[in-house]
């Protein structure tokens, strides 16, 4: 059974604003945030970075409605970890999205390799939550991570 967004990530995993030049910079910043939060095992950061970047090079994780979910299946984790960034630039962030629109919400996920299939439905659940107009509108009004967290928690 898929976990709720707020069971996967904590308020501290929200980065607002996510100031990035492009999708590669956004991924790097979110990976750095995950590392600073202590979610990356010692000596694994480069492996995880390489895995997420390779996944993104193979096919963009930019979806529709301003959502991108860069992710990778990795070794060395016993649970899914990640970060959620909200882009505040007026123009959004180019992410090679399937609808060719800029991204304003980026969810970075590192998925334990042995749980990859289980988390496919989690990716879909996150996308469905963030695709809701009311959720996107409310997130757009948030001034800080705590506010964004309250929006996500109340929307689930």
Tell me which residues are annotated as active site: 71
Most distant pair of Cα atoms in the chain: their distance: 40
Quick check: bond before 26 cis, omega within 30?
no
Spell out the alpha helix ranges (H) of the chain.
5-8, 23-36, 45-58, 116-131, 133-141, 145-155
Neighbour-count burial of 143, counting CB atoms closer than 10 A to its CB (0-12 exposed, 13-18 middle, 19+ buried): exposed
Any idea what the Cα angle at residue 25 is, between residues 18 and 120, rounded to 5°? Answer: 80
Residue 85: in which H helix or E strand, if any? strand 81-86
């Amino acid at each position: 059974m898929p976990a709720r967004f707020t069971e996967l990530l904590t308020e501290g995993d929200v980065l607002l604003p996510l100031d990035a030049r492009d999708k590669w910079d956004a991924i790097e910043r979110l990976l750095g945030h995950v590392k600073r939060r202590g979610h990356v095992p010692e000596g694994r950061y480069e492996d995880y970075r390489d895995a997420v970047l390779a996944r993104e090079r193979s096919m963009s994780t930019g979806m529709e409605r301003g959502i991108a979910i860069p992710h990778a299946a990795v070794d060395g984790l016993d649970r899914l970890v990640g970060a959620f960034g909200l882009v505040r630039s007026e123009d959004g962030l180019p992410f090679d999205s399937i609808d060719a629109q800029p991204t304003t919400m980026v969810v970075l996920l590192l998925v334990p390799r042995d749980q990859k299939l289980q988390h496919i439905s989690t990716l879909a659940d996150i996308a469905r939550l963030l695709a809701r107009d009311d959720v996107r509108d409310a997130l757009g009004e948030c001034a800080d991570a705590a506010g964004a967290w309250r929006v996500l928690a109340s929307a689930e």
